[in-house]
Chain A
Amino acid sequence: MPVRRAVAVLIFALLWHGGAAAAALQRVPLAYLGETRAGDAGAAESGAAVDEGLAGAHLGVADNNSTGRFVGLEFELLPTQAAGLGQLISRPSAGAPVTFAVADLPSKILATIARQFPALTFINVRARSDRLRNEDCAANVLHTISSRAMLADALAQYLVWKRWTRWFLVVGSSAADAAYADAVRRAAAKFGASISAEKAWTFGAPNVRADTGHATLQTEIPAFTRVGDYDVLIVADEEDEFGEELVGRTFLPRPVAGTHGLIATTWSRVNEQWGALQLQRRFEKEFKRAMRPRDYAAWLAVRAIGEAAVRTGSADAGTVRQYMLGPEFLLSGFKGRGQSFRPWDGQMRQRVLIAGPRRLVSASPQQGFLHRVSELDTLGTDKDESACRR
């Protein structure tokens, strides 16, 4: 991993020098705040990667610099642990102060650090917490990863469009699962679906590698899912412990959706529409794996700063941030609609993909869900409902 990162840094360094010959470039350093992540046993199956997020940010910097070299701006990524942020900003990189941080952090750590450094602008690429965008919101935090409310609303719109409106909700044991289930319940009420049954998954993570793994699940899951009739099972299992095991094993022949089966997501490898194939290929060529949602959110965060800096021709933090939050800002995110930030809570408005394991099934908002300003604002917390006071 350190070798790969070093190689990537070297490649980007070479890219800058290719275009840097003509004029002195104005530097824009971007902090990337992550945590040390250990690979876990399930990582191979779920496709998780230790550089998820960071890889997307690197690609964003390369894309920014391809435009930057024409207009005299040079972007640089400075990856560090959250605890190292103070040290990083006290040592300005070649004279240019660090004023933007891509935050690949859990919501509580991000909320704390954002209060600690009010002069910095943070872009959240990981935490899907709705609290972080409402009660715990901060004026210096923007979000490029979709909130749970956006994901649940996107799925709800598609299921309502399909007229699959009776849902059986299965909820895992973590706090994240409970938050996801809350978002699903709110989405049901918002779009006219009903939760006809609800159960908590209390078995823990099944040990599917045991020789008896599938045999046990083949009897346990039909028994667990025998709850009367419903149209679709919605599973809330953000930690990827059991959700996949429900697919193809329910008592009634019903589809599984939510965190597994038919998923609502900010990004997926299955999106090849709207020119996305080019982004997927660029990413895979560089990092030898598929681009994941956090990679995409980090790419968006870096590109958003880049777009605002290029459009304003400025590396000044205030100018860039003001433009980013203003009405003229528009980012191309390979989802067929221009993406911008909601001024009331700093959330990026964007389409949410409805994806199967290998194919894009749909993208929300769905036709017929209308909004007076932007149909993208039918997903997640709208202005009037927001509890964010920035």
Chain B
Amino acid sequence: MQTLTLALAGALLVLNGAAAAETIYVSNEQDNTVSVIDAHRLAAVATIPVGGRPRGIAFSAHSGLLYVAVGDDNRIDVVDTKTRKVIGSIPSGEDPELFALHPDGKRLFVSNENDNLVSSVDLEKNSVLGTVQVGVEPEGIAVSPDGRLVANTSETTSMLHLIDAASLELLDNVLVDTRPREAKFTPDGKAIWVSSELRGTVTVLAREDRRILRRIRFAVPGLRREQIQAVGIVITRDGKTAYVALGPANRVAEVDANSFDVRRYYLVGQRVWHMALSSDEKRLYTANGNTSDVSVIDLDRQEVVKSIPVGRSPWGVAVAP
């Protein structure tokens, strides 16, 4: 059955291009649902009820399952994308917000905001493997492409914490800009990008020696500095381009990831949180919290081509074949 689905998906890829064949999942923080968007029709086609206050969302290519952190219920819901139903849940520690899947597909790492912890969860045994104490209100979390290092930000402590993925030993703590939200490794694993919500910057650090390579600032004509708040970060597979969601600036910045220059800003819906690229990286989907919609940016044409109404307060986006 799985082979058949994959074969079918392959055929569609050839016919319509990758973006058109896939499905986009959006967590709606205030509705306790996940909206399902058909990438071909660019319309919401289903709504999946999940636990309370869904935010972090990710699709696992290993298991073919969708994971949704439901903070108010202190767990991560597991969604079968075929039946579009919650088929179980995994423990996460208290109030999970963002999580990151390990490249081995067997573990995930999750921030527990209330307890100042990062938990490592075994997806097969469905149990917490261990925890590590970090700063106050851990938030952004990422695993290096080689699977060895976990990067985590703490919002109130304003630090980037680096954790050994296997031993859960806290290796280093680096002061970054105020209220850091997301952390992302570059595809080559050599740099870490960290967004600061209140300073409105992205700090790029070298993994090797934690040296700050660049502090990227954003400026949008007509907007006050305080309206520019960097949140979600997405980096293309070739490592050449990064997209940064700017929250109440209602913009997504496109950044040259080598020179760190901002190439352009896309006007999207209001209070843009997190984003996801289509699998062919020709489109970017953004979750806009205040306008309760998803903006679709056509990256070849460099314009926003559609806004799709979803549930209330969309927060996270995941793309699955």
Name the B residues within 8 Å of A375 (CB-CB).
Answer: 224, 226
**Within 8 Å of chain A (Cβ to Cβ): is B254?**
no
Name the B residues within 8 Å of A240 (CB-CB).
Answer: none
**Within 8 Å of chain B (Cβ to Cβ): is A216?**
no
**Within 8 Å of chain A (Cβ to Cβ): is B158?**
yes
B144-194 at interface with A (beta carbon < 8 Å)? 155-159, 173, 175, 178-179
Q: Is the CB of A70 within 8 A of B157?
A: yes
Contact with A along B48-64 (1 / 0, CB 8 A): 00000000000000000
**Within 8 Å of chain B (Cβ to Cβ): is A93?**
no
Q: Is the CB of A275 within 8 A of B137?
A: yes
**Within 8 Å of chain A (Cβ to Cβ): is B89?**
no
Q: Which residue, of A67, A71, A376, has the highest number of chain B Cβ atoms within 10 A? A: A67
Name the B residues within 8 Å of A317 (CB-CB).
Answer: none
Identify A332's interface contact among B116, B175, B178, B226, CB under 8 A.
Answer: B178
Q: Is the CB of B178 within 8 A of A330?
A: yes
**Within 8 Å of chain B (Cβ to Cβ): is A63?**
yes
Q: Is the CB of A67 within 8 A of B159?
A: yes
The majority secondary structure among interface residues of chain B is loop
**Within 8 Å of chain B (Cβ to Cβ): is A311?**
yes
Bound complex: CA A300 to CA B224 (Å): 24
Bound complex: CA A332 to CA B135 (Å): 15
Bound complex: CA A332 to CA B116 (Å): 17
Q: Is the CB of A67 within 8 A of B137?
A: no
**Within 8 Å of chain A (Cβ to Cβ): is B306?**
no
Contact with B along A208-243 (1 / 0, CB 8 A): 000000000000000000000000000000000000
Contact with B along A328-353 (1 / 0, CB 8 A): 00111000011000000000000000
Bound complex: CA A132 to CA B137 (Å): 35
Name the B residues within 8 Å of A282 (CB-CB).
Answer: 114
**Within 8 Å of chain B (Cβ to Cβ): is A278?**
yes
B196 to chain A, nearest CB (A): 9
User: Could you pull out 13 A-B pairs where Cβ atoms are within 8 angstroms?
Assistant: A63-B157, A66-B116, A67-B136, A67-B158, A67-B159, A71-B175, A278-B137, A330-B178, A330-B198, A332-B156, A332-B197, A374-B224, A375-B226
- Which A residues have a C-beta under 8 Å from some C-beta of B? 63, 66-67, 70-71, 275, 278, 281-282, 307, 310-311, 330-332, 337-338, 374-376
Other A-B contacts than A70-B173, A332-B179, A338-B226, 5 sampled, CB-CB below 8 A, are A66-B156, A67-B136, A67-B156, A332-B197, A337-B226
